[in-house]
Amino acid sequence: MDTLAKRLAEAMSRARLNQPGLARQASTPDQPVTQQTVHNLVSGQTTHSKHLPALADALGVSLEWLTRGDHTLKAGAGAASVAGGEAHLAPIRGAHPSQLRVLGMAECGPDGWSMWNGDVIDTVPTPSGLQGAPNAYAVYAVGTSMEPRYYEGELVFVHPGKPVTAGSFVLVQIRPEHEGDTPKAVVKRLIKRTASKTVLEQFNPARKFDVRNDDIVSIHRVVGSGES
């Protein structure tokens, strides 16, 4: 896999996405990706695009592997590109394809923020809606800030490749205050995203708040829930 075009084609095959599908998965309201962009990259007509971080995230691979080939494919609770930023996917190994990985979060403060360690703490049967989604994962809901939508201890299923849109529920991971510290994460409802901020909503108590896009490492779509 010595070219970006070949690595992109390989990752698309693994993710079972064609060019239109990948364009849809990588698109956001603020940054739409066209099929022509994907075609130009897969065909080798270009090796540069501002959408490469979003494409890598939608495919569940690291940006470094996709652009330079110097990292292995990595699937799991990775990081999405936000406002042009760059992030990395953490490797998650050892579970059977029929089993979904549950990643660790622990309550750490107000507004439902939790410590995010990304470690596999459990595995559960993969819901039918996530079959074939290699980078899907789950977390246990922490705290009561999203009740009555998501209850404490309930499994929350996350699909990083699914487009994030206003009104959807999302798991947002933010950068730690100090390098080397554990990042924080939260499950909320997305109100809107602008060039500089993301507006989130919680239900209990009801309130909205802003998060600077520069502080966001990843924002992944929540697609359902179930009992542990």
pLDDT value at residue 29: 66
**Beta strand ranges found along the chain (DSSP E):** 99-107, 114-125, 137-140, 155-159, 169-174, 184-193, 197-203, 206-212, 216-226
Dist CA 202 CA 44 (whole Å): 44
DSSP assigned state of 128: G
For 217, the token pair is 């490492």
pLDDT value at residue 192: 95
pLDDT value at residue 95: 43
Classified as helix, coil or strand, 59 is helix
pLDDT tens for the 228 residues of the chain, in order:
579 999 998 888 877 778 887 888 788 767 788 889 999 999 989 888 888 988 888 887 888 888 887 654 544 333 333 333 323 333 333 344 578 889 888 876 666 788 877 778 888 898 888 888 878 999 999 889 999 999 989 999 999 888 899 999 999 998 887 777 778 899 999 999 999 999 999 999 999 999 999 999 889 999 999 865
pLDDT value at residue 11: 86
Each residue's pLDDT tens digit, 76-106: 333 333 333 323 333 333 344 578 889 888 8
CB 121, CB 194: distance < 8 Å: no
Could you identify the residue written with the tokens 């929540």? Answer: 222
Could you identify the residue written with the tokens 């947002």? Answer: 172
Nearest to 77 by CA among 121, 44, 107, 13: 121
Q: What domains are there in the chain, each with its CATH number?
A: 4-68 (1.10.260.40), 99-226 (2.10.109.10)
pLDDT value at residue 97: 55
pLDDT value at residue 89: 33
pLDDT value at residue 110: 62
pLDDT value at residue 138: 93
Give start and end residues of each alpha helix (H) in 27-170: 35-42, 52-59, 63-68
CB 191, CB 208: distance < 8 Å: yes
Dist CA 188 CA 60 (whole Å): 22
CB 149, CB 113: distance < 8 Å: no
